[in-house]
Structure 1
């Protein structure tokens, strides 16, 4: 008798969970959870009408079934976007927070002006920004951002740079606003910039302009 009672209890437990699951699926798939509103934040640098038109395909989709990656991939097609945060505000609203990338340098590629963004992309521009340093040569955006990160992780201030020259050998020369030129080795790190910073601040080298660090563990200092 006790064994039969246990079987009945087990059966009713299974039946309960089955009914709950079926009901939950019906609720989730009901039109209550259809996307009816898409709210954009931080989009002012984008074409709002165009973006909303592209996002309109997700209106009335089920908010539970929508994959955030679909929204992110669509918006990331714009080169000026740094970061996207898609928040599902249940039952029926999407909130999309879009962050604009920071422009860190000017570059001209085959006669066309671009900004280099912190998001490792080239962004077309109508005019150079005189407050940003200019890059000469043909680095990839990733190669430039790697250099940029090494500089900002040192005591140097990136805003003090005027020109950056990239050579086919993938080596860099930097020209500062004070006229100093720093010749870098093929492989760089923030330690190299820290060394240059300390030496350039020394009274012994105030009249020197060219700091040649192309050879590892050596520093050659000259005047222009």
Structure 2
């Protein structure tokens, strides 16, 4: 007896939902057969009324994956559709608008067809800053321009600053040639004549690299680095690693 009562309750709970879905299906078929703007507006009005009656309106927006994008920027794009029928939310249109943000690498929006949409964003990873003397252009690991940042922007202070024509396009090749964990010691990278690199380290030493075999040259630097004390390193201005069998040290001039 109790089982029958439970079954009746379930039928009462799900019957309105089934009725709504069947009704919407009939209307959609009708519109496909006899489409015009007036009918389309009437159809939307009917859906809105039923959605409001049975609480199928957008009220919850969950956004995941944000690190550098302002959440309010996304919410402002959703705001016009808040409390609208969940069945009429233009998910593709919203995704297209959000994708116009340079930080967005990919986006996926899902609806529970009740009251919630879930927005999952994969942001581009910033890899470096291209400096022109006037602008500081933040770019990603897929060489996409993200934004122009201020000189004193602390969020990205650990990133390498690149200078020189075509240095953005050559940046990934340079970074890939670094030995493990070496990137964290580099402050600036200068592309010389679009052929080779000079690196300014965070200890202020300038490394002059060869056109080829960059990784080997940097491994040689690491070998000699461990033989110097901190006091000796402070006195070094540059280390020339361009010749395979030879390393040239240049010391800072002592001002008397």
2:139 counterpart residue number: 116
Against the structure 1 CA distance between its residues 183 and 97, is the aligned structure 2 distance closer, same or farther, given a 3 Å change threshold?
same
1:138 counterpart residue number: 165
C-alpha displacement of 1:211: 0.6
1:175 counterpart residue number: 200
C-alpha displacement of 1:158: 0.5
Matched residue of 1:52: which SS?
helix
How far apart are the structure 1 equivalents of 2:224 and 2:133?
42
Against the structure 1 CA distance between its residues 172 and 74, is the aligned structure 2 distance closer, same or farther, given a 3 Å change threshold?
farther
Matched residue of 1:198: which SS?
helix
Tell me which stretches of 4 or more aligned residues in structure 1 moved more than 6 Å: none
Alignment of 1:64-213 (within 5 A): 66-67=91-92, 70-109=93-132, 111-120=134-143, 121-128=145-152, 129=154, 130-139=157-166, 141-151=168-178, 154-178=179-203, 179-185=205-211, 192-203=213-224, 206=227, 209-212=239-242
How far apart are the structure 1 equivalents of 2:197 and 2:129?
16
Gaps of 5+ in 2: 1-20, 29-46, 229-237, 251-256
| Residue among 74, 98, 113 paired with 1:51 | 74
Superposed CA RMSD: 4.0
C-alpha displacement of 1:157: 1.8
Q: Retained in 2: the 8 A contact 1:200–1:206?
A: no
C-alpha displacement of 1:199: 1.9
C-alpha displacement of 1:111: 0.6
Against the structure 1 CA distance between its residues 79 and 66, is the aligned structure 2 distance closer, same or farther, given a 3 Å change threshold?
closer
Provide Cα deviations, 1:54-103, integer angstroms capped at 9, x if missing partner: 23466647479844xx5444223223345534333344532112344444
Higher relative contact order, chain-length normalized (CA < 8 Å, sep 6+) = 1
Deviates more, 1:97-106 or 1:120-129: 97-106
Q: Retained in 1: the 8 A contact 2:177–2:215?
A: no
Gaps of 5+ in 1: 1-21
Q: Retained in 2: the 8 A contact 1:156–1:197?
A: no
C-alpha displacement of 1:169: 2.4
Deviates more, 1:136-145 or 1:155-164: 136-145
